[in-house]
Chain A
């Protein structure tokens, strides 16, 4: 390892989870102050990976470094990694203030000093008015902020958040998510790995997204990059990419699909083409080149999407607004070709997240 690199660095990690095959060849680099959203299906080993990184068991092979310190063999309390459980587990026998003071006291800081620092942290997360209350009396959002304050009191170099918003009601989730992101942004410090199975949440919270599929990291990158350009068919399907058309690439790199033709150098053979619904507009007139039949109308906030059929392919497209289409209508499609992305069927299964 060359020099001091603040943040989390994982190489060649193999992690056991349940009775199934574990995670293989996991490599992660998360810079200090960066938020990586680890996205994957439920039961896919995301929690097992976090627990292994925190030293709570399950790491079969590989190296975990925090900054330039190899913490692989260190017990959880000496790693500088704080793991926040799915439902915030505040200690029920301690007041909110004493919960936040807990990491300071176990490090040997005098009780009075620890409580002063804890009070400052509670002010920071706007919970100073509930400092003396029992955790059980807090609302869901308050519990999250208190747990975050407690985690920050430990001054972690890495913060692992395991589905931190999944236990909240939908209407509260967005507010708490925003509050947590703001708090973390204000305290630019720990590298944050946040686990979720919600694509929108990952995109909203993560500076980068990493996708864990079939026991391996399948893709990582900026949210827009990953969502617009899934690296494999499996990633595209997991992300719920609405338009996934079959196509064929010829020797000269010309990709042909029901929506048209694109130049995309690569090996000849079967491919899939993805394209955002916003990049395909349905017109009621014949100005578009590709005829399609409307099968459903999907009204969304600020837009209307149409489900259309071309041959045996189903697509989601946007309506250009010139009159409302109905199921059974014939429309013509105008395609913004720059937005198309070609996926080779034989894509490598795993990529390092760097």
Chain B
């Protein structure tokens, strides 16, 4: 018999996860919320949302989305490429590659950012979109390598062997067997890599040097300037893609019958 979660488990989890989002939502539409009040005051004011009509915020949004898209695609290609190459390498090389990928994920973001800033200055890419993109690629590729290693771990490579002896060339095996089977996982990989880029603050701020301005960077600026309402509105917008991604993944896995 499947063990049942205690009755309080789901409500607690819902409150724990939903409370910050709810507070953000309230703050984004409330006219004011003076300390130490526990509820907002002054009724609804949608003025903060008009801020997104501002060119600066819109360009930050476009910059974030563009970076997320190309980082997601590139890190997915790199991660699957590295993990695919690891399948046929020695155990030692595989362990080393996995350790490096894991390090880029678990290393404190600020430490990684400082290191990458130094590297980008040396490459004369500091303060450029290319520099920020390359910096985002580092942790994103780490995540994607780990993700792809898990995908390949569950992949049935005997399909390749049978396809070859059934008359398929290497290219036909790739296009007719590997790609169709990995397709959904590749889409998930692009999404995952994009989300890693979407949330980067330290890397963008340090490597971008204030020139490359993404939505998280602008959000930080609002908070520092004490504009809580605009900050909350920007934060809400930032939470939309992860929520949307989760919804899409859930729908895709329900369609394919696989567990999320």
Q: Which residues of A contact B (CB under 8 A)?
A: 51, 54-56, 75-77, 79, 81-85, 87, 89, 91-93, 102-103, 105-107, 150-151, 153-154, 160
Contact of A154 with B167 at beta-carbon distance under 8 Å, contacts A102-B176, A106-B176 already known: yes
Cβ contact within 8 Å between B165 and A76? yes
Q: Quick check: is B156 within 8 A (CB to CB) of the other chain?
A: yes
Contact of A79 with B165 at beta-carbon distance under 8 Å, contacts A85-B158, A89-B159, A106-B172 already known: yes
For A57, the closest partner residue in chain B by CB is B161
The complex places the Cα of A89 from the Cα of B168 at a distance, in Å, of 15
Cβ contact within 8 Å between B164 and A102? no
Chain A: minimal CB distance from B124 (Å): 46
Cβ contact within 8 Å between A82 and B165? yes
Query: Given the complex, which residues of B lie within 8 Å of A150, measured CB to CB?
Result: 166
Contact of A84 with B169 at beta-carbon distance under 8 Å, contacts A89-B156, A102-B176, A106-B176 already known: no
Cβ contact within 8 Å between B181 and A93? yes
Q: Which residues of B contact A (CB under 8 A)?
A: 156, 158-159, 161-169, 172, 176-177, 180-181
The complex places the Cα of A314 from the Cα of B213 at a distance, in Å, of 88
The complex places the Cα of A83 from the Cα of B166 at a distance, in Å, of 8
Cβ contact within 8 Å between B181 and A56? no
The interface residues of chain B, by DSSP majority, are classed as helix
Chain A: minimal CB distance from B165 (Å): 4
User: Which of A87, A91, A107 has the most C-beta atoms of chain B within 10 angstroms of its own C-beta?
Assistant: A91
Query: Given the complex, which residues of A lie within 8 Å of B180, measured CB to CB?
Result: 93
Chain B: minimal CB distance from A117 (Å): 14
Cβ contact within 8 Å between A82 and B159? no
Partner of B161, one of A85, A87, A93, A153: A85
Cβ contact within 8 Å between A51 and B161? yes
User: Which of A54, A106, A107, A151 has the most C-beta atoms of chain B within 10 angstroms of its own C-beta?
Assistant: A106
Cβ contact within 8 Å between A85 and B162? yes
A-B contact count (CB 8 A): 65
For B162, the closest partner residue in chain A by CB is A89
The complex places the Cα of A249 from the Cα of B159 at a distance, in Å, of 54
Chain B: minimal CB distance from A271 (Å): 45
Query: Given the complex, which residues of B lie within 8 Å of A92, measured CB to CB?
Result: 181
The complex places the Cα of A259 from the Cα of B217 at a distance, in Å, of 94
Cβ contact within 8 Å between B165 and A81? yes
Chain B: minimal CB distance from A47 (Å): 11
Query: Given the complex, which residues of B lie within 8 Å of A87, measured CB to CB?
Result: 158
Contact of A77 with B169 at beta-carbon distance under 8 Å, contacts A92-B181, A93-B180 already known: yes
Query: Given the complex, which residues of A lie within 8 Å of B166, measured CB to CB?
Result: 77, 82, 102-103, 106, 150-151, 153-154
Partner of B164, one of A56, A84, A91, A93: A56
Chain A: minimal CB distance from B20 (Å): 40
Q: List 10 A-B contacts (CB under 8 A).
A: A55-B165, A76-B161, A76-B165, A77-B167, A84-B162, A89-B158, A106-B166, A150-B166, A154-B166, A154-B167
